[in-house]
Amino acid sequence: MRDQLLQQYQELLTSYLNEKREDILYTAQQMSRWMMEQRIPPEEMVSVHAEAVKKKLPHLSPSVKDSFDLLIEMMIGYGIALKEHESLVNRQK
């Protein structure tokens, strides 16, 4: 599933970098909603983004690559809060 996700996101990224249109950002919103329905946490989303950027821009500097590690770490806390959210919602059903 992650390979498919990465490929779809990579196509989205390529489209957006080629031509910065608003409808591509709208597609991003829809993909984001789908990812949340699949319980994909935000740090995984950032990890997919990082991987897609590295593939798309192979001459990326090591500093940019390393900076993603820090962002992923920052996102883990948000991911934990979202899991809390899911369990609360489920408990109320």
- The footprint of its own copies (CB under 8 A) covers 12-13, 16-17, 20, 24-25, 28-29, 31-33, 35-36, 42, 45-46, 49, 53, 56-57, 60-61, 63-64, 66-67, 69-71, 73-78, 81-82, 84-85, 88-89, 92
Minimum distance between the CB of residue 75 and its own copies, rounded to whole angstroms? 7
Q: Which two structure tokens, joined as six digits, stand for 27?
A: 């597609």
Tell me whether residue 3 or residue 14 sits nearer to its own copies (CB atom). Answer: 14
Tell me whether residue 6 or residue 16 sits nearer to its own copies (CB atom). Answer: 16
Contact by Cβ (8 Å): 64, 18: no
CA distance 64 to 93: 43
Give the residue among 17, 25, 32 at the shortest CA–CA distance from 82: 32
Contact by Cβ (8 Å): 60, 54: yes
Minimum distance between the CB of residue 3 and its own copies, rounded to whole angstroms? 18
Minimum distance between the CB of residue 23 and its own copies, rounded to whole angstroms? 12
Give the residue among 31, 40, 38 at the shortest CA–CA distance from 9: 31
